[in-house]
Each structure stands twice: as structure tokens, then as C-alpha cells.
Amino acid sequence: MKLRILKSEVTNPWFNLATEDWIFNTLNPDSHTLFLWRNSETVVIGRSQNPWVECKTDKMAEDDVFLARRQSGGGAVFHDLGNTNFTFLSPKADYDQDANFTIIINALKKLGVDATLSGRNDMQVGDRKISGSAFKHSVDRSFHHGTLLVNADMQKLGDYLNPHPLKLQAKGIKSVRSRVANLVEFNDAINHETLSQAMIEAFCEHYGQEVEAIPVEELDEAILAQEPHLNKYYQQMADWEWRFGKTPEFSHHLETRFDWGLIDLHLDVKQAVIAEAVIFSDALNVELIEALKESLTGVKYNKDTIGAKLAALSEAQPEMASQVTDFSAWLVGAITG
């Protein structure tokens, strides 16, 4: 069986996740492939997750942190340049998940770290998690990817992965937090380059190949122009409709009181669009409540879009502008994204 090693020089997560899709869907699965990469500051959510439940999307936007949705399942993770990410691709008939974990364990042994497999997905040193994985299979190929915590900023992990208490009743998968550790806590000489080299060596050794005999293919953004399939996947990963619009159906219940009345708002959201807005209120102006409901229905669940729609209502109905402005400031402040 041939071996193939790919390594990304790009830290844009949409490029790297698109590369994964390109590897999975397009490359000939006649070899065992190892892809190594890392991302700039990013929250990566699973295919069936709700970004508003999993992370503080407003703070991420303020800090220029990427949001990415991967094709596979699993929970939300924070990536930065202190993470090393790996992807294994094998023909389905020759796929061996245990072999992949063995390669990682052997790579870490080269760096003086004794890791063990925990359950089906995670790896740990002692009782602390240092790696998580997810998996995907098709008719002729199988895919295993994950992340290794090398020197990740744990404070930022907490900053972005602790969502606001939004009273969201969400369908889909919700993440479970684990006690984690960086590999530098066990060997302060470990970095992305040393770990990548150890992974490459362990990968070749496992399959009985000489490291020098397997060229490492360096990937950069120029490849987008050369590979139409890769560029297509990149455009998908970067698109709002993929990152937010693929969110499973959820509802959001908010309450507040203004001088002019109580607002009890229920939003049903499907594919990140408000499908129905129900408002209970003791406000005297019934037309205001109906106008608010109408303005919200069919709008993207996004504070900028909602703010623009309510601003248009305020301009079109100056007699209720004051109340609409109150309502808009409150709702836009309550919604993150």
C-alpha cells in the first residue's frame, strides 16, 4: 500500500477544512494518507451543532476569530496555532482506526510523552485529555481526524466556548467539556514542527516505509487555482449559509419589560432563519406587536440583519419609531451572531 503525506502551510481554517473535504471526496483512495495542519484562532463546530449554543459568536466577531463548521460530527473545539491537527484517509477495506491511534501514541513516545486511548474518540496523558477525534466513512474510503493540544491558549478556549445563557432550546449535538492539558506541560520542547515530524516518522514506520522515501507535499493557497474541487469546498466552508444556515432547528425565548409594556418573545429558527415570531405583550399598541412579528418573520437569525430590518420598520412607521428602537436595541443586544 502506498503512503501519501500532505502538510498545509496555510492557517486559514476554511482552507484546511476544505482540503480535508478535497482529500476525502476527490483523492484516489489507493493509499494511506496523512494530512497535518493547524489553524489561526477558530472555533470549529460539528456538522449538527448550533453555533449560538456552543460559542460566543459576538465576541468571536469582535476578536476576528473564525467560525468553521466541519463535515463530520463531534463537538465544538477551539483551535489556534498551539494546536496540531491530523487527518488520516485510508481505503475502507484497509481502514484501521486502532492503527491511527497507535501512530499518534508512538509519535508522542518519540517526544517523551506517554499517551493512552480514552474511550473511542479521545487520548489523554494521565487523566487529562490532550486529543479528540471524529470519523467519517463512505463506500470506498474512511476518514479519521482530530486535534492535539500542543500549546493552545486555554484562557481563550474558555472565552469562546462558554456561550451566553440565551435560553435556547436547541436540537442537535451539544458539546461536553473535558479536563484538558497541553503537551508542553509534559515536554516543553514540543511544538508544531517537532510533533509533525514525529507523526510523519511514526506513520512511515507503522507501514514499514523509509521516511526519506515519502515526499511531504506542502500545500498553500496557490493550489486553490489549480484544483477546482478544492476551491469549491473552500467557498462552501467560508459561506455564511454553511457555517450558520446549516444549524439544526431551535427556538429562542426572551422576555423584557419596557415603559410601554411587557414583551414575551418566542422565535422558532430553522436553518438560521426566523420561521415564526410569537410575541405576547400587554402593550396598548396592538399594531406595534403585529408589525414587530411581521418584520422578524423570514429574517436571518443575525443581529445585523435583524437590526437593519427593524430600522426599516422604524423609518416606515415613524409613529412607533420610539418603541421599535427600544425593542431593536434590546433584541440585537440579546442575540449573538
pLDDT in tens, 169-180: 555 555 555 688
Q: How does residue 164 score in pLDDT terms, banded at 50, 70 and 90?
A: low
Residue 167 pLDDT greater than 70, yes or no: no
Cβ burial 176-215 (10 Å sphere, 16+ → b, else e): eeeebbbbeebeeebebebbbbbbbebbbebbeeeeeebe
Q: Which of 42-46, 51-55, 164-168, 199-203 has the highest mean pLDDT?
A: 199-203
Average pLDDT of the residues in 194-211? 96
Residue 168 pLDDT greater than 70, yes or no: no
Q: How does residue 121 score in pLDDT terms, banded at 50, 70 and 90?
A: confident
Residue 104 pLDDT greater than 90, yes or no: yes
Is residue 64 exposed (0-12), middle (13-18) or buried (19+ Cβ within 10 Å)? Answer: exposed
Strand order of the sheet with strand 31-37? Answer: 116-118, 122-125, 128-137, 141-149, 83-91, 31-37, 2-8, 216-219
What is the chain's mean pLDDT, rounded?
89
Check residue 58 and give its pLDDT.
84
Q: How does residue 297 score in pLDDT terms, banded at 50, 70 and 90?
A: very high
> Measured between alpha carbons, how far is 62 from 209 in angstroms, rounded to an integer?
47
Higher pLDDT, 283 or 174: 283
What φ, ψ does residue 299 adopt, rounded to 5°?
-100, 145
pLDDT, one tens digit per residue, over 42-94 is 999 888 888 888 888 888 988 999 999 987 777 788 899 999 999 999 998 89
Q: Which of 21-30, 295-304, 327-336 has the highest mean pLDDT?
A: 295-304
Average pLDDT of the residues in 300-329? 94
Q: Which of 52-61, 292-301, 327-336 has the highest mean pLDDT?
A: 292-301
Give DSSP secondary structure letters for 105-132. HHHHHHTT---EEETTTEEEETTEEEEE
Residue 29 pLDDT greater than 80, yes or no: no
